[in-house]
Amino acid sequence: MRVTVTLSSMVKPAELTWSGGLALSELDQTGMTAHVPTVYFYTRSSNSWPTVVQTLKNSLSITLVHFYPLAGRLASIADGRLELNCNAAGVPFTEAYADVKLADLDDFFEYPIFDQLIPSVDYRNTPLKEAPLLLLQVTRFLCGGWSLGFCISHVVVDGQSALHFLTEWARVCRGEPLDSPPHLDRKVLRAGQPLKTARVNRNIELHAQCSHPPLLLGQTSNESERTQETTVTMLKLTETLVKKLQNKANENQNTDTIRRFTRYEAVTAHAWRTACKIRNLAPEQKTSIGICIDIRRRMNPPLPEKYFGNAIVDVIATGTSGELLSGTLGFVSRKIRDRIGQVNDEFVNSVIDFLKCQEDLSKFQELQLNKDEKGAFYGNPNLGVISWITLPMYGVDFGWGKEVFIGPGTNDAEDGDFLILRGEEGGGSLIVAVCLQVRHMEDFKRVFYQSIEED
């Protein structure tokens, strides 16, 4: 597939918006500080292509009046900390053509890497103050179908907030009024405020921000593993297979008094065990799994409706390869559930307190902007799992019908990155997007499926 860019423009808010520095919370500024890419595919519209493009741009300009932080830029203030410069600099909008039909992509699973369809940021050569927070690309295919490449800064939003913007933009594009304005004030997560208490949670190892994932036995750094060639694939789990995993996880569990393990817990535990097996980890090898948790309903009181920003924390479950493989799927699922269960208002505030105490936040950023150094690495012998199961990703209709497929971008994926999202079949089916070292991928796919069927 060859994609040719025909036009690039900058879309700005349709009206004058508030300008100035907007404080970011500590949860915005730590963890993943790169852009997150996604691509939506649509069939041919009833309107001409120039009309489609102009309608998308006009409605984007209107929507940015309400979501004006996305038209701004980041600014470095001090001590590795960032803030939002709401300056209405705009959103890059690229128009392109592809030399294939949508049908040529088959079921899309043969093409897990859609780099040409999604715009990106050159972190090494773009100054922070100039890097767009949102980048968009519409690509027309030979059949008249088209795709929308959506690339958004994780410093500014998490998945829930990104999808809030996308669904509101689609509403405006259809000619409907905005449904739910974003809550832009991040002071509910103490953005820009001083340390709340001098007491930081002593269980510091519970905070993912403070943890260094285990290294392979006998190694003193992860440099060798970082340089291994990786590949990406997307694995389908039908509702039947998901239920089999859940049933395995819940075997010998007293489900009258203990809530059944969820499909997320069971699938994540299964992926962790499978990775240990195909990587041939020694039984005494320590291994961790990074888990991303939405805190909106875990705070007391809950965060405001449509809070716009990052409302997520990371937690770490740990174990040895030997205990994970010798234990049941329920045992491993319990490890994951126990860590998730620790996330409450007190825990989140202790994370914020800990980060506010730090003299330099940049060391807690997974990708240090405009630098070559990278932070925590959840490759071999570890995993990092993100769930999009509950995100409102599907049914995004800009006025010409709902999407036919959604795919995650994979250009920034690293060894050990796992993404779980709902299957296009609906119901209880899932898709697991996996990035692993090339030498491990075929074994992972084989064992992943085979072990579900084993008694």
Query: What's the Cα-to-Cα distance from 160 to each of 144, 163, 314, 393, 419, rounded to whole Å?
Result: 30, 5, 16, 9, 15
State the catalytic residue, choosing from 35, 154, 164, 440: 154
Tokens 């010998």, residue located? 252
The rounded distance, in Å, linking the Cα atoms of 96 and 85 is 30
The rounded distance, in Å, linking the Cα atoms of 230 and 343 is 32
State the catalytic residue, choosing from 104, 115, 397, 412: 397
Residues 6+ apart with CB under 8 A from 322: 282, 283, 284, 285
Tokens of 54: 């102009």
Q: Is the peptide bond between 194 and the residue preceding it cis, with omega within 30 degrees of 0?
A: no
> Among this protein's residues, is 154 annotated catalytic?
yes
Residue 410 near residue 434, CB atoms below 8 Å: no
Q: Which amino acid is at 96?
A: A
Residue 12 near residue 61, CB atoms below 8 Å: yes
Catalytic residue positions, numbered: 154, 397
